[in-house]
């Protein structure tokens, strides 16, 4: 490919390397101010997360005829365990009048105060219009209501719960995500690179390259969000930091390892880099391309938060790839051999991987490869049995926050104990106005629903609200939503639809199930085609995909055991299995490509057996290092008090370690040795003559 040769020539050229450096420095200077605006371009309102075609989303659209879809009901809860006093009741009534005057509160819709029958709690429902800010404005609104309620409380406990309180607590959990996550990721990457390179300075170059890539990607994503309709939310922005540093550092490790090899064979560092780019570049491009295509498959998802995640992360990986194939080579060549100090790769010195740890592992595997892969597969299969205990039916409000119970959760607990559980989070029904009476009757007669409001009509539509008798995020509430839908859908000519927060949660769960069942097979087919084209074989891609699926299942099984018995999470988000699959399969294929392209290169010279052993010896160290870095960056997600991201970080980190230390290095190598030339059927490698047995036992003094 002429464009690839051009990149190689520019990045490793004696003069053009300086042009590459200047280009990236100018780009970083231009991008820095734009990247800082990305948080402001995030869309965390309801429509940016929901499935576009779901019934609850359509209700939100129609609901705008009656009130803004960005109205969040705040439930102000007062409680006194010893019983309310007359002063408490008077205060709650006075506060309700003060709430009505707060900016953003919907005029005339403050409901309450409502007193619990046991005389120990009060609730006031305050609808607040947050506008297009979504949850970004929820924290300030909730704080204003809390300040009013806590003033002169006289021992009353006060909580802000309901949709507004939950949105505020979610926003606070993501507050500072940029700084916290970036700092944790940087620290992990720097420490692991110091251990990997055993050099006090070499780590700087991958980190600088990844940092400039992240700044450039942020700027590009901001421009697309501001001017091209790309949707970015707090979740995708957070994962972007981890993926750019993790994947970018992986590519840096592979390129730097190959460059170090070539420096031992060539006195001219420019020539060494050119050869390193030509030999490692195709594997890096293929692995990054696989990750990008796998991420882009998320674009077919129904769930908007999943749909928008794919393009955002694909852009990040693409920019990281460009940085590692241009800026990093230029920096390495500019710095020269001294950057590897204190262990500089001297010209003519022996390649240490030929007698390193992974060369020894390969020799042990080669003694009984079939026993090794069968045993490994059985162990992984046993680990996968933990899948039977995986609960991924969605997180309740209380389960969504890791390590703490915020104010909205405490407030909802008080509501559950003293009031109808669904208070403040009504079920909404929208229907054609002429059928309003029949819909009202059907709605009121549905088990699990109480306190249905009279229809409000406008523009030919009727709007009704009802209160759930069960907690709004419980299975009983979801069952009630299905009952309401069955009842109102049966009214002829009503075209009734059911929405509200509980209906939204239910529709999100079902969209997540649909997306998982659609996207996982697409990714498997896509990866098979890419591996087939890259390796020019059929058996090898089938074997590799089988190992990836086994690795994914084992990682998910072990994660389930930890979630249930160690971390006590109790549940996982509906999208959790899909996200883990996308990251583990896409990134796991990275390591397959790193290993098998080298095995194929060596097998073409020495035959399948020697090729498998030499390939493992040459790439085992760099794949292990890359896996440690990537696992460490995803583990940084555990620093956030968000259960979904903490679970995702643990599962991907564990899965990546399992993939690099066991699946890639042991299972795939033993399968390659056992299958021999059949691994490469029907390619030329399958048909070529195999070296004599005596030749196979010879150990090269250096990796070719």
User: Can you read off the two tokens belonging to residue 685?
Assistant: 């490698």
Q: Where in the chain is the domain with CATH 1.20.1640.10?
A: 1-52+176-349, 369-404+507-520+531-704
Please compute Rg for the chain using Cα positions.
Answer: 29
Backbone angles phi, psi at 667, to 5 degrees: -65, -50
Cα–Cα distance measured from residue 232 to residue 214, given in angstroms and rounded to the nearest whole number: 15
Angle at 237 between CA 235 and CA 243, to 5 degrees: 100
User: Can you read off the two tokens belonging to residue 663?
Assistant: 């699946």
User: Can you read off the two tokens belonging to residue 319?
Assistant: 């920019």
Which CB contacts under 8 angstroms, 24+ apart, belong to 512-516? 512/303, 512/306, 512/573, 512/574, 512/575, 512/578, 513/574, 514/302, 515/298, 515/301, 515/302, 515/303, 515/306, 515/575, 515/578, 516/575, 516/577, 516/578, 516/581
User: Can you tell me whether residue 571 is helix, strand or coil?
Assistant: coil
Question: What are the residues whose beta carbons fall under 8 Å from the beta carbon of 621, sequence distance 6 or more?
Answer: 257, 353, 356, 357, 358
User: Can you read off the two tokens belonging to residue 316?
Assistant: 């990040």
Q: CATH code for 369-404+507-520+531-704?
A: 1.20.1640.10
User: Can you tell me whether residue 683 is helix, strand or coil?
Assistant: coil
In this structure, the strands spanning 449-450 and 461-468 are antiparallel
Topology of domain 70-174, per CATH? Alpha-Beta Plaits (3.30.70)
Beta-ladder partners of 160: 76
**Dihedral angle sign, alpha carbons of residues 219, 220, 226, 230:** negative
Question: Which residue carries 């170059």 as its tokens?
Answer: 205
> Tell me: the pLDDT tens digits for 524-548?
898 888 888 888 889 989 998 899 8
State the pLDDT at residue 475: 85
State the pLDDT at residue 700: 42
* Spans of the chain, pLDDT less than 50: 1, 692-704
Angle at 652 between CA 647 and CA 658, to 5 degrees: 130
Question: Which residue carries 């390659």 as its tokens?
Answer: 672
Cα–Cα distance measured from residue 667 to residue 577, given in angstroms and rounded to the nearest whole number: 23
Contact between residue 610 and residue 551 where contact means Cβ atoms under 8 Å apart: no
State the pLDDT at residue 31: 92
Cα–Cα distance measured from residue 74 to residue 110, given in angstroms and rounded to the nearest whole number: 10
User: Can you tell me whether residue 115 is helix, strand or coil?
Assistant: strand
Q: Where in the chain is the domain with CATH 3.30.70.1320?
A: 426-499
DSSP one-letter string for 365-395? HHHSHHHHHHHHHHHHHHHHGGGGG---S--
State the pLDDT at residue 690: 55
State the pLDDT at residue 701: 37
Cα–Cα distance measured from residue 608 to residue 671, given in angstroms and rounded to the nearest whole number: 11
Topology of domain 426-499, per CATH? Alpha-Beta Plaits (3.30.70)
Residue 649 has, within 13 A of its CA and on its CB side, a CA count of: 27
Q: What count of other Cβ atoms lies within 10 Å of the Cβ of residue 446?
A: 22
Beta-ladder partners of 114: 123
- What beta strand segments (E) does 147-256 contain? 157-161
Task: Region of 163 please: left (phi>0), alpha (psi -120 to 50) or beta.
Answer: alpha
Cα–Cα distance measured from residue 625 to residue 619, given in angstroms and rounded to the nearest whole number: 10
**Dihedral angle sign, alpha carbons of residues 144, 149, 153, 157:** negative
User: Can you tell me whether residue 94 is helix, strand or coil?
Assistant: helix
Q: Where in the chain is the domain with CATH 3.30.70.1440?
A: 70-174
User: Can you read off the two tokens belonging to residue 104?
Assistant: 């953003």
Helix and strand totals (H; E) in the chain = 25, 9
Q: Does domain 1-52+176-349 have CATH number 3.30.70.120?
A: no
State the pLDDT at residue 330: 92
pTM of the model: 0.80
Contact between residue 198 and residue 343 where contact means Cβ atoms under 8 Å apart: yes
**Overall residue count recorded for the chain in this entry:** 704
Helix H or strand E encompassing 63? helix 55-63
Contact between residue 629 and residue 248 where contact means Cβ atoms under 8 Å apart: no
Helix H or strand E encompassing 565? helix 539-565
State the pLDDT at residue 177: 60
Least Cα distance to 590 among 253, 207, 329 occurs for 253
User: Can you tell me whether residue 71 is helix, strand or coil?
Assistant: strand
Contact between residue 74 and residue 164 where contact means Cβ atoms under 8 Å apart: yes
DSSP one-letter string for 637-674? GGGSSBHHHHHHHHHHHHHHHHIIIIIIIIIIHHHHHH
User: Can you tell me whether residue 507 is helix, strand or coil?
Assistant: helix
User: Can you tell me whether residue 469 is helix, strand or coil?
Assistant: coil
User: Can you tell me whether residue 466 is helix, strand or coil?
Assistant: strand
Q: For residue 51, what is the DSSP state?
A: B
The gap from C-alpha 242 to its chain's centroid, in whole angstroms, comes to 9
Contact between residue 169 and residue 72 where contact means Cβ atoms under 8 Å apart: no
């Amino acid at each position: 490919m002429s464009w690839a040769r051009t990149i190689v020539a520019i990045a490793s050229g004696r003069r053009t390397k300086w042009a590459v450096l200047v280009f990236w420095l100018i780009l970083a200077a231009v991008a820095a101010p734009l990247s800082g605006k990305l948080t402001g371009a995030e869309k965390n309102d309801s429509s940016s997360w929901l499935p576009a075609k779901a019934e609850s989303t359509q209700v939100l659209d129609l609901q705008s005829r009656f009130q803004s879809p960005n109205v969040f009901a705040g439930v102000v809860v007062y409680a006194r365990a010893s019983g309310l006093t007359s002063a408490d009741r008077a205060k709650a009534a006075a506060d309700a009048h003060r709430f009505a005057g707060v900016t953003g509160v919907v005029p005339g819709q403050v409901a309450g105060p409502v007193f619990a029958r046991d005389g120990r709690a009060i609730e006031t429902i305050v609808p607040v219009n947050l506008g297009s800010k979504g949850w970004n404005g929820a924290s300030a609104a909730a704080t204003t209501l809390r300040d009013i309620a806590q003033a002169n409380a006289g021992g009353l406990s006060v909580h802000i719960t309901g949709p507004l309180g939950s949105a505020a607590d979610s926003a606070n959990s993501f507050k500072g995500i940029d700084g916290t996550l970036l700092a944790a990721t940087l620290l992990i990457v720097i420490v692991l690179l110091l251990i990997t390179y055993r050099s006090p300075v070499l780590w700087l170059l991958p980190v600088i390259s990844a940092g400039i890539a992240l700044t450039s990607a942020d700027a590009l994503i901001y421009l697309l969000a501001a001017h091209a309709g790309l949707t970015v939310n707090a979740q995708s922005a957070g994962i972007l930091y981890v993926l750019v540093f993790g994947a970018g550092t992986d590519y840096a490790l592979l390129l730097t390892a190959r460059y170090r090899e070539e420096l031992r064979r060539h006195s001219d560092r420019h020539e060494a880099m050119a050869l390193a780019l030509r030999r490692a570049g195709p594997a890096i491009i293929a692995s990054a391309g696989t990750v990008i295509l796998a991420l882009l498959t998320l674009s077919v998802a129904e769930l908007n938060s999943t749909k928008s995640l794919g393009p955002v992360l694909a852009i990040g990986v693409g920019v990281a790839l460009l940085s590692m194939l241009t800026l990093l080579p230029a920096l390495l060549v500019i710095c020269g051999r001294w950057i590897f100090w204190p262990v500089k790769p001297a010209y003519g010195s022996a390649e240490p991987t030929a007698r390193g740890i992974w060369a020894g592992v390969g020799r042990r595997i080669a003694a009984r490869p079939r026993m090794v892969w069968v045993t490994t597969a059985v162990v992984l299969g046993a680990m996968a049995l933990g899948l039977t205990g995986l609960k991924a039916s969605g997180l309740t409000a209380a389960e969504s926050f890791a390590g703490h119970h915020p104010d909205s959760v405490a407030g909802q607990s008080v509501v559950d104990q003293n009031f109808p559980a669904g208070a403040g989070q009504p079920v909404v029904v929208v229907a054609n106005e002429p059928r309003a009476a029949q819909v009202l009757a059907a709605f009121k007669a549905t088990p699990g629903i109480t306190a249905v409001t009279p229809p409000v009509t406008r523009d030919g539509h009727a709007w009704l609200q009802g209160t759930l008798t069960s907690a709004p995020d419980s299975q009983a509430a979801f069952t009630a939503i299905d009952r309401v839908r069955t009842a109102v859908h049966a009214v002829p000519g009503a075209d009734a639809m059911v929405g509200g927060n509980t209906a939204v949660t239910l529709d999100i769960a079902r969209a997540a199930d649909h997306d998982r069942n659609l996207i996982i097979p697409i990714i498997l087919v896509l990866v098979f085609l890419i591996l087939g084209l890259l390796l020019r074989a059929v058996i090898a891609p089938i074997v590799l995909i089988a190992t990836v699926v086994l690795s994914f299942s084992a990682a998910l099984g072990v994660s389930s055991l930890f979630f249930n018995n160690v971390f006590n999470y109790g549940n996982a988000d509906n999208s959790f299995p899909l996200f883990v699959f996308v990251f583990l399969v896409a990134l796991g294929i990275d390591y397959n490509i790193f290993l098998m392209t080298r095995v194929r290169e060596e097998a073409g010279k020495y035959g399948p057996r020697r090729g498998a052993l030499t390939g493992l010896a040459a790439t085992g160290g760099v794949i292990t290092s890359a896996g440690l870095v990537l696992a460490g960056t995803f583990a940084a997600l555990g620093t956030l008090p968000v259960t979904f991201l903490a679970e995702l970080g643990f599962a991907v980190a564990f899965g990546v370690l399992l993939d690099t230390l066991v699946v890639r290095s042991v299972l795939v190598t033993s399968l390659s040795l056992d299958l021999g030339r059949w691994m490469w059927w029907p390619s030329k490698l399958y048909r070529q003559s195999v070296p004599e047995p005596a030749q196979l036992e010879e150990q090269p003094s250096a990796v070719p």
